Amino acid sequence: MTASDNTKDNSAYEDSEATYKSRLAREASRDLANSTDAVRTRALELIAEEIENSQSKILAVNEDELARATRNNLDLAFVDRMALNHERIAAICQGVREVASLPDPIGNIEDMSERPNGLKIGKMRVPLGVMASVYEARPNVTIDIAAISVKSGNAVVLRSGSDAHRTSSLLAEIARHAIEKSGLDPKILQFIESTDREEVSALLAADQYIDLVVPRGGTGLINKVKSEARMPVVAGGVGVCHTYVHADADIQMATDIVVNAKTRRPSVCNTLDTVLVHREVAPQLVPRLTNMLAKVGVSLHADFESIPMIDEAATVFPVTPEDYDTEWLSLNCSIKLVDDMQDALAHIGRHGTGHSEAIVTSSTESSKEFLTSVDAAAVFVNASTGFNDGGEFGLGCELGISTQKMHARGPMGLRELTSYKWIVLGDGQIRP
């Protein structure tokens, strides 16, 4: 099968496109698992090269989809997630090359020990087999997941959202062509061309072929995948993220961290949603912070105690209980004054989603208490929540950021896409 076979007319499938392509991925995964790291690394290098050489075509398709989204009055944050430009394409290619350069986890031997009977027993890292991902607006996810899957020896089946579907399809086609040039079977990367929602259900039922599915998107998509999937699910989590500014925080540091966490890229899941400010530092911090946020267009949803302190240039709304549970994904931010660390921890416990939480403090003791007490995939001291990212953690691009505790938590890199098998080395032992 060549790269062009991935665009087969959907009417020709006996069952469903998702089932058919999942089977192809399973068949191709066996040889991929036995391939060398050099071959898989070369495939990723070629993917980056092919994307760079195809920028004009990619951007033309993406611009057409963005224009349609604008005509359909889609949310601006959603449109931003769809958008590609030269800088974002360069970042995609850089991420692929970073993954290519990472050490190969496959075949690593861990926890080897010798038993009293002379048996040597340990674990060998192996690929999971076949991954699937259902995702929404971000076309860069197509390449991120393809790269990390191939590097870790896993075949992958992708189903993108309809709004950036043509861009994602083109990126998958480019990646398949590069994979074929490397000498690997292009069937290891499958892209579901149909936008029929029944194909998602068919994919989630293909547990005979798929080992793990990762949804990337909003609450509705994640809940659908969790409820319908017959295979294990690791959910790229919804992020209601907080930054708590403690009483002893440096005002300038706190301002810089909050502004960065909120405005660097508002439409992504590690973006700040609620600022919790210790009331002792609030008179010094809130006017300065809100002035800076107002300058970049952030609207504030504030509790009644903080409203009198907010800079007059800011757009302010009285906060509602629902606001504290909102992942804004936009230039909106909740702000609340708290009595102390325990008050902040209680708020995060009620409203956080276990994604990214931060404290700004000059106290080692307060840092330790926050790190110990907060239940989240990533907890930050004196740093922006925007760093919760595979690339920033040295993992290259990521499969997603998991807010679950089993199998994977936080950015999912190469190791999180592997399992292990026990290996037992003997010299003739038999069990009495």
What distance lies between CA 394 and its chain's CA centroid?
A: 14
* Nearest residue to 290 via CA among 272, 312, 269, 273: 312
Contact 415, 105 (CB under 8 A): yes
CA 103 to chain centre: 21
Confidence of residue 5 (pLDDT cuts 50, 70, 90): very low
pLDDT digits (tens, 9 = 90+) for 195-210: 999 999 999 999 999 9
Residue 155 backbone dihedrals phi, psi, to 5 degrees: -75, 160
In the block, which residue shows the tokens 């992958």? 156
- Name the one residue in this structure whose structure tokens are 């002379």: 118
The span from the CA of 361 to the CA of 244, in Å, is 9
The yes-or-no answer to whether 3-234+412-424 and 241-387 have a common fold is no
Span 172-176, average pLDDT? 98
Average the pLDDT over each of 105-109, 220-224, 280-284 and give the range with the smallest value: 220-224
Parallel/antiparallel/unpaired status of strands 401-402 and 272-278:
unpaired
> Residue 299 burial by CB count (10 A; 0-12/13-18/19+): exposed, middle or buried?
middle
Across the chain, how many H-helices and E-strands are there?
A: 13, 16
Judged against a pLDDT cut of 70, whether residue 322 lies above it is answered with yes
- The rounded distance, in Å, linking the Cα atoms of 270 and 303 is 23
The answer to whether the CB of 16 falls within 8 A of the CB of 197 is no
Q: Which residue has the tokens 């931060």?
A: 358
Over residues 224-280, the pLDDT tens digits come to 999 999 999 988 667 899 999 999 999 999 999 999 999 998 988 899 999 999 999
Q: What is the mean pLDDT of residues 349-356?
A: 94
Q: What percent of the chain has pLDDT over 90?
A: 81
Q: Which fold has domain 241-387?
A: Aldehyde Dehydrogenase; Chain A, domain 2 (3.40.309)
* Rounded Cα–Cα distance for residues 276 and 82 (Å): 31
Asked if residue 408 lies in contact with residue 402, where contact means CB atoms within 8 angstroms, the answer is yes
Q: Do residues 358 and 367 lie in contact, with contact meaning Cβ atoms separated by under 8 Å?
A: no
pLDDT tens digit sequence for 227-236 = 999 999 988 6
pLDDT (average), residues 54-69: 96
Q: Report, as an integer, the average pLDDT of 393-399.
A: 77
Q: Which of 126-130, 326-330, 364-368 has the lowest mean pLDDT?
A: 326-330
Contact status, residue 373 vs residue 189, Cβ threshold 8 Å: no
Closest CA to 332 of 342, 317, 352: 317
Q: What is the pLDDT of residue 276?
A: 98
- Tens digit of pLDDT for each residue in 8-25? 455 566 779 999 999 999
- DSSP assignment, residue 411? E
- pLDDT of res. 398: 73
- What are the domain boundaries of the chain? 3-234+412-424, 241-387
Task: Decide which of 3.40.605.10, 3.40.1260.10, 3.40.50.150, 3.30.70.330 is the CATH code for 3-234+412-424.
Answer: 3.40.605.10
Tell me what the mean pLDDT of segment 360-383 comes to: 96
User: What distance in Å separates the CA atoms of residue 358 and residue 29, rounded to the nearest whole number?
Assistant: 40
Query: Model-level pTM?
Result: 0.81
* Residue 77 tokens, joined: 């944050």
- Counting other chains too, the contacts that 347-351 makes at CB distance below 8 Å and 24 or more residues apart are 347/242, 347/274, 347/276, 348/242, 348/244, 348/276, 348/374, 348/376, 349/375, 350/324, 351/240, 351/242, 351/274, 351/324, 351/325
Torsion of CA 220, 222, 228, 232, to 10 degrees: -170
